[in-house]
Amino acid sequence: MRGGLPGLIVLLLALAGAGAIHMNAPPPAPWSDDELKAIQSLSLSALPPLPSDPSNAVANNPVAQRFGHRLFFDARLSANGAVSCATCHQPSMRFADDLPRAVGLAIGTFNSMSLVGTAYSPWYFWNGRQDSLWAQATSPLESAIEQGVSRAQAARLIAGDPTYLAAYQALFGPLPPLPGEAPETGQEEAAVTEAFVNIAKAIAAYERLLLPGETRFDRYAASLGQDEASAPDAQLSHPETEGLRLFIGKAQCINCHNGPLFTNHEFHNTGVLPAIGALPDKGRAEGVRLILKDSFNCFSAHSDDPDKNCLELRFMRTGDDLVAAQKTPSLRNLKGTAPYMHAGQIDTLAEALAHYNRARDAIVGHNEAKPLGLLPYELKRLEAFLSTLDGPLATAPEWLAPP
């Protein structure tokens, strides 16, 4: 048996070596057909073309896009001359900000939502209290804690700026007589509202250009089924792919964060605590009440849609179970849009994942999420996967800076 011991050592070393290789680079388990289907459903390649907005006649008009671009960055559209749309929706922060709650003229109640891909949504704001991009744009302009301009002040800004006036007239015709301009006709208020709505429609035309671009996850999804060597930069790490597996499986994230924008555009109560010192928010229950009486909703005379089909609004769900339900946000560019939740209550992605893993009873209404029982290494893998959802915008660079 001479040589037996060295032989054994060699064998053990070989096994150890094989083990080390295995531990360093485990072969990714093949995806099942259902998993592949789920992965492709999340991929940017599954994103349909931007839906038309018949309520906004200038939604795709290049003059309106340029006009809206200027208005978006124009702080003259505020009571103190210092707040624009871009104050809370900053291009460098994926058109959100890094604050828990929006700060315009004062500190607001809600976390600023990213505008990237928002034109796909049937509902706006965390509680969905408005139902078109242009209607949404009217609210911060008038809000006393955001921009705080009156409709007449906004119209006067257009009247007093030759570039704006030319764009306005090209798009909408002559600016109506403003209050205080003789002779008074009694129609000034309606005319000013019309001008204000037109300003919002131009801003919406610009915001429709803000679309999500390809991420590492999208490149990986596109590479599946292809030779690995043909797309060497499309690979995800082992923790990232295993995080993806959890995302579409055991962790149930895909239930609500589904489709290529990682949102079902719906409202869910997930037991998020109110911001410290704040009362619990009524969420979608309040949103439903507000949208029905909103003078700029889909049924409104300010909509340019002659049909007023308004499917989402006509068949909107109502009911008590919507209390404290908030809109599912997109997870694209998640890393760059911290802090999280409707009032920025959660600082980090790890804490957000821990929140869903615990799924404690809601203090108002009913938490739809159930405890997941994920282990710490699984939460880390999920976090690793979510970091693959950052990417540039699919928007020409000239739109991403002030004009």
Partner 1 sequence: MNALFPLLLLALSAGLPAADALAGDAWPTPNPDNAQVTQFGRYRISYASALEPIEINRIHAWVAQVTDADGNPVVDATIRVSGGMPEHDHGLPTEPRVTAYLGDGRYLIEGMRFHMSGAWHVVLKVKSGTGEDSLSIPLDI
The residues binding partner 1 (CB under 8 A) are 38, 41, 122, 254-256, 258-259, 264-266, 311-312, 314-318, 321, 368
Taking the C-alpha atoms of residue 86 and residue 27, their distance in angstroms, rounded to an integer, is 45
Minimal distance in Å, beta carbon 261 to partner 1? 9
DSSP 268: E
Q: Are strands 267-268 and 326-327 parallel, antiparallel or unpaired?
A: antiparallel
Q: Decide whether 22 or 250 has the Cβ nearer to partner 1.
A: 250
- From the CB of 47, what's the least distance to partner 1, in Å? 12
- Cis, peptide link before residue 339, omega less than 30° from 0: yes
In eight-state DSSP terms, residue 276 is T
Phi, psi dihedral angles at 48 (to 5 degrees): -70, 165
Closer to partner 1 by Cβ: residue 235 or 264: 264
Pick 158 or 251: Cβ nearer partner 1: 251
Nearest distance from C-beta of residue 266 to partner 1, angstroms: 5
Q: Which two tokens stand for residue 62?
A: 């290049």
The count of other CB atoms within 10 Å of the CB of residue 249 is: 14
Q: Which residue from 88, 99, 89 is spatially nearest to 347, judged by alpha carbons?
A: 99
Q: Tell me the closest approach of the beta carbon of residue 396 to partner 1, in angstroms.
A: 28
Residue 318 C-beta: closest distance to partner 1, Å: 7
**C-beta of 317 vs 360, nearer to partner 1:** 317
Question: Closest CB to partner 1 among 121 and 303?
Answer: 121
- 124, β-bridge pairs: 130
Give min distance, CB of 255 to partner 1, in A: 5
Q: What are phi and psi of 355, to 5 degrees?
A: -60, -45
Closer CB to partner 1, 320 or 398, in the complex: 320
Nearest residue to 109 via CA among 350, 341, 333, 363:
341
